[in-house]
């Protein structure tokens, strides 16, 4: 691989990572803004749309946080509890510092996970090899 090609590859990887960080961190920020700013000022008719958008943000963020927590804590039960705690505090807490703490954690987890996913090339798996059975001769 030439030096120029390696430099381009590193630049592309860095760009993918940066885009992934922005993409991944955007959902918790959007959920926080909608729940704590826009719904409070919104007219009652726009609330179902806001709820749908927040649910979409939680559906985007939840599985990523769960996978991270499962790896971090080594327990699916703890991972589920942590995911509910972090996403629930972000969505329902009214204490500003608590909400901002949950927002910082969720943005970090989602941004890092998405950046790593986009920056790391996918692993190509070969098709499983099927073994043929030896023909059985009639007895």
> Are the CB atoms for 117 and 71 separated by under 8 Å?
no
Neighbouring residues of 114: CB distance < 8 A, sequence distance ≥ 6 = 20, 21, 23, 24, 25, 64
* Radius of gyration of the chain, Cα coordinates, nearest whole angstrom: 22
pLDDT per residue as tens digits for the range 87-109: 999 999 989 999 999 999 999 99
- The pTM score is 0.77
The whole-angstrom separation of Cα 127 and Cα 91 is: 43
pLDDT per residue as tens digits for the range 29-71: 999 998 888 776 655 556 788 888 889 999 999 999 999 999 9
């Amino acid at each position: 691989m030439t030096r120029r090609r390696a430099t381009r590859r590193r630049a592309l990887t860095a760009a993918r990572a940066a885009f992934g960080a922005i993409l991944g961190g955007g959902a918790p920020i959007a959920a926080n803004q909608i729940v704590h700013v826009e719904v409070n000022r919104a007219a009652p008719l726009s609330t179902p749309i806001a709820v749908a958008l927040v649910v979409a943000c939680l559906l985007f963020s939840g599985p990523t946080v769960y996978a991270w927590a499962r790896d971090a804590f080594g327990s699916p039960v703890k991972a589920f509890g942590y995911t509910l705690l972090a996403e629930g505090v972000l969505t329902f807490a009214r204490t500003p510092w608590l909400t901002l703490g949950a927002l910082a954690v969720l943005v970090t987890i989602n941004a890092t996970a998405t950046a790593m996913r986009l920056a790391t090339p996918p692993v190509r798996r070969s098709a499983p090899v099927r073994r043929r059975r030896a023909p059985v001769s009639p007895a």
